[in-house]
């Protein structure tokens, strides 16, 4: 990505959601349940890697959630682009407690949705709250900005990427899960630049 070329002191940060996982294909509440990619998911990741390779897109570092669906996506992309890869558990999906890995029918029996959800309500009775996920995502952003400016690829999950965008755009989690939602489909990516000298975030691209 070229944002840091235009702004020499800027960070260029691309958020990428993983390819289709077995959990996606089976319509399960994944959370931190560790589902691998499907063959379709691998093909999605490879297609994106091929596209970026053809366009000359490059990164100086990739940071991925260690969960299989993200890690496998990151491995496919970084191998194609020859980008160093590391893992950070702060980019894992929300811990959704008793919901992890369940279908809609199972959730209705085990941990039905509360009538009202505050930002502090724990998902699946024993998991994280949206507020905790927001703080974790903010910490993950902080760790990027503690590094020297460069081009970073983050491979993660829809929930944590939404909260990272909340942290970047100064949006706070709201009651009953209201507020904006950024629709990261499988291998959707978003590109941002950040200029610390002026505290300017720019969204440069949001691609499905």
What is the DSSP track for 127-141? S--HHHHHHHHHHHH
Q: What is the pLDDT at residue 7?
A: 42
Asked if residue 204 has pLDDT above 60, the reply is yes
Q: What is the pLDDT at residue 8?
A: 52
> What total number of domains does the chain contain?
1
Mean pLDDT of 94-105: 96
Residue 132 annotated as catalytic: no
Mean pLDDT of 182-194: 97
Q: What is the pLDDT at residue 72?
A: 98
119-176: pLDDT as tens digits: 999 999 999 999 999 999 999 999 999 999 999 999 999 999 999 999 999 999 999 9
Strand partners, 191: 14, 205
What is the DSSP track for 56-95? T---SEEEE-SSHHHHHHHHHHHHHHT--EEE-GGGSPP-
1-59: pLDDT as tens digits: 443 444 457 999 999 999 999 999 999 999 999 999 999 999 999 999 999 999 999 99
- Kindly name the residue from 18, 20, 132, 157 that is annotated as catalytic: 18
Residue 172 annotated as catalytic: no
72: left (phi over 0), alpha (psi -120 to 50) or beta: alpha
Mean pLDDT of 189-199: 96
Q: What is the pLDDT at residue 66?
A: 98
- Kindly name the residue from 93, 128, 132, 157 that is annotated as catalytic: 93
Strand partners, 55: none
CATH number at residue 127: 3.40.50.1240
What is the DSSP track for 167-194? HHHT----GGG-S------TT-EEEEEE
Which residues, including other chains, have CB under 8 Å from residue 90's CB and lie 6 or more apart?
A: 136, 137, 139, 140, 143
Range of the domain at 187: 3-207
């Amino acid at each position: 990505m070229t944002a840091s070329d235009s702004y020499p002191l800027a960070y260029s940060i691309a958020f990428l959601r993983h390819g289709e996982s077995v959990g996606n294909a089976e319509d399960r509440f994944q959370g931190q349940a560790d589902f691998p990619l499907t063959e379709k998911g691998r093909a999605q990741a490879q297609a994106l890697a091929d596209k970026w390779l053809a366009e000359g897109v490059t990164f100086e570092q990739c940071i991925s959630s260690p969960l299989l669906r993200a890690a496998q996506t990151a491995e496919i992309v970084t191998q194609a682009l020859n980008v160093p890869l590391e893992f950070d558990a702060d980019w894992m999906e929300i811990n959704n407690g008793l919901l992890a890995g369940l279908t809609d029918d199972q959730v209705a029996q085990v941990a039905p949705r509360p009538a009202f959800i505050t930002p502090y309500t724990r998902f699946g009775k024993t998991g994280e709250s949206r507020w905790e996920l927001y703080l974790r995502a903010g910490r993950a952003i902080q760790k990027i900005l503690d590094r020297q400016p460069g081009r970073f690829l983050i491979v993660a999950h829809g929930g944590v990427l939404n909260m990272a965008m909340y942290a970047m755009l100064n949006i706070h989690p709201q009651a009953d899960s209201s507020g904006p939602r950024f629709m990261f489909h499988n291998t959707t990516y978003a590109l941002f630049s950040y200029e610390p000298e002026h505290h300017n975030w720019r969204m440069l691209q949001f691609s499905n």
